[in-house]
Amino acid sequence: MSIAIYVTFLRREEADLSKQQVATRKRSKRKKNVISARIKLAFVLGVLITVLGAILPVGFAAHQQLMSQTLVSPILLGTGLEQLNTVASQALHQQSVEISKALNGLIPQQFQGKTVSQVPLNTGRKVIALTFDDGPWPEFTNEILYILKHHHVKATFFVIGRNVRNFPERTKQMYLHGHALGNHTWSHPYHQHSEGQAAGQIDNTTQWIEQATGGVKSRLFRPPGGFLNNGLAAYAAKQGQTVVMWSVDSKDYYAPAPRIIENVLSQAKPGAIVLLHDGGGDRRPTIVALPTIITKLREQGYEFVTVPELLDLKAQETQTASGG
């Protein structure tokens, strides 16, 4: 090889090396820019979650967990926005669970062991509680949950123990959507019960509710058929549960949708508790009637609350009146 050819070869090698170095620097710069962008995204999301954490104190613990994962986790920096969204969803979901658990445990002392059918407030505030019996039932419960969610309404479901056992996911859906849960016995019996038999009906259902929901302890009981003297309500009251009857009977267990609507609207009063059903039969008329019931009551100025919320409002009113 001549010197001239060798020099040319070296110059080409030097040029190729220079190009490689330039390309490497560009790749390094792009990588730094991507990491910087991800860090900025994590920081912005962290600030947003901090604001939400301040607005929603119940979710503070979940918010703190999310903050720590967002700012320091290399997994999040490696996978980007999709992973961040997943963590945020998990934190908000956990917050919803904790709110629902707290809601189901809030029964003021003045109502423990007592029987209520309506709870009017002294202020005349137009609050009303929708309640649904005999579920969960796959098709009908799901439709009712969808309607309630669409209209931003929280309700109270009095569930049958054996249905909870058979359809635990539906039960879990109820409380994940923010609804309150009540005990409606294991098998919906009407006959007389000894204390031991009543305990089997009620305690077994309580345990299955807790198992299906991951810890919800229901403090509400509704006797099947509204029978108060067959030993079931007495046992529930003895355990400190609130026995919940109703002041508005929709008669949806046999009436067509137009009559269900008429029955509810004609009997509605502030503090009323409305009897409806999501199980125990064909509930398509209830599903048809429910959106109109919600819309018409809202037009009349009613606010929808769960039974625990209704009891808590009354307890707060009583405490204020007594100077507590």
Region 87-109 average pLDDT: 57
307: pLDDT strictly greater than 50:
yes
Does 277 qualify as catalytic in the annotation? yes
Please tell me the predicted confidence (pLDDT) of residue 322: 79
Between residues 33 and 275, which one has the greater pLDDT? 275
* Active-site option among 133, 252, 278, 312: 133
Does 133 qualify as catalytic in the annotation? yes
Please tell me the predicted confidence (pLDDT) of residue 16: 53
Range 226-237 burial, b when 16+ CB lie within 10 A, else e: eeeebbbbbbbb
Q: What is the DSSP secondary structure assignment for residue 241, as one 8-state letter?
A: P
Region 284-289 average pLDDT: 98
| pLDDT tens-digit readout, 182-209 | 999 999 999 999 999 999 999 999 999 9
* Active-site option among 63, 179, 188, 277: 277
pTM over 0.75: no
Please tell me the predicted confidence (pLDDT) of residue 225: 97
Lookup: tokens for 198: 């009543």
Region 283-291 average pLDDT: 98
| pLDDT tens-digit readout, 153-182 | 999 999 999 999 999 999 999 999 999 999
| Alpha-helical regions (H) of the chain | 3-55, 60-72, 74-79, 81-105, 138-150, 161-166, 168-176, 195-213, 232-238, 257-267, 284-299, 307-321
Considering only CA atoms, give the Rg of the chain: 29
Between residues 68 and 236, which one has the greater pLDDT? 236
Q: Report the DSSP beta bridge partners of residue 303.
A: 127
Residue 269 pLDDT grade (very low, low, confident, very high; cuts 50, 70, 90): very high
